[in-house]
């Protein structure tokens, strides 16, 4: 399970819309394991395929509400949101760049697991923020598009996504 290189802005791969995953095999399982290791090694709470050069709809998120379990999301889609939260956000692909972003506080996502089985998962707080941040990556969008105010890294309190 090697740690992969994380692409940084302005790499054009970060701005590409990802293709759906159609093959659920050992190669996908290996990719998911590499992504989890890469995210953890970088002290992140989420990592999407394009951040490691894979233009596929796959991401991993640390569930901060559930003993830091890693949630694997393949072909994810947001099916419900509620509430609102405004806070500091960063990104592993934008080192030392942080900003204030408003997102829903509770997010329910429908996705496939590594075997292709559909499931739903609900996250709140930082986990909800990470779900939306990573799904944005899969659609070719980055958090800086949503920032209302950039802040200094020393002011940043949340982990990077």
Non-local (6+) Cβ contacts of 106 within 8 A are 80, 81, 82, 83, 122, 123, 124, 128
Please give the backbone phi and psi of residue 89, each rounded to the nearest 5 degrees, phi first: -140, 145
Catalytic annotation, pick one of 72, 134, 159, 161: 134
Residue 126 CA to residue 75 CA, distance in Å, equals 21
Strands (E), the chain: 46-48, 58-63, 69-82, 85-90, 98-103, 106-112, 118-124, 149-151
Annotated active-site residue 157? The verdict is no
The catalytic residue positions are 134
């Amino acid at each position: 399970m090697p740690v992969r290189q994380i692409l940084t802005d302005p790499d054009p791969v970060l701005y590409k819309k990802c293709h759906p995953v159609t093959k659920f095999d050992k190669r996908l399982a290996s990719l998911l394991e590499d992504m989890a290791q890469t995210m953890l090694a970088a002290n992140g709470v989420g990592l999407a395929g394009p951040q490691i050069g894979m233009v596929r709809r796959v991401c991993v998120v640390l569930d901060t509400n559930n003993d830091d379990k890693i949630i694997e999301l393949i072909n994810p889609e947001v099916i419900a949101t509620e509430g609102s939260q405004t806070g500091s956000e960063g990104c592993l692909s934008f080192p030392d760049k942080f900003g204030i972003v408003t997102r829903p506080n509770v997010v329910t996502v429908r996705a496939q697991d590594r075997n292709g089985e559909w499931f739903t998962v609900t996250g709140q707080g930082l986990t909800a923020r990470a779900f939306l941040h990573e799904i944005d990556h899969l659609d070719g969008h980055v958090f800086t598009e949503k920032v209302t105010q950039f802040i200094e890294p020393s002011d940043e309190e949340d982990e990077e996504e």
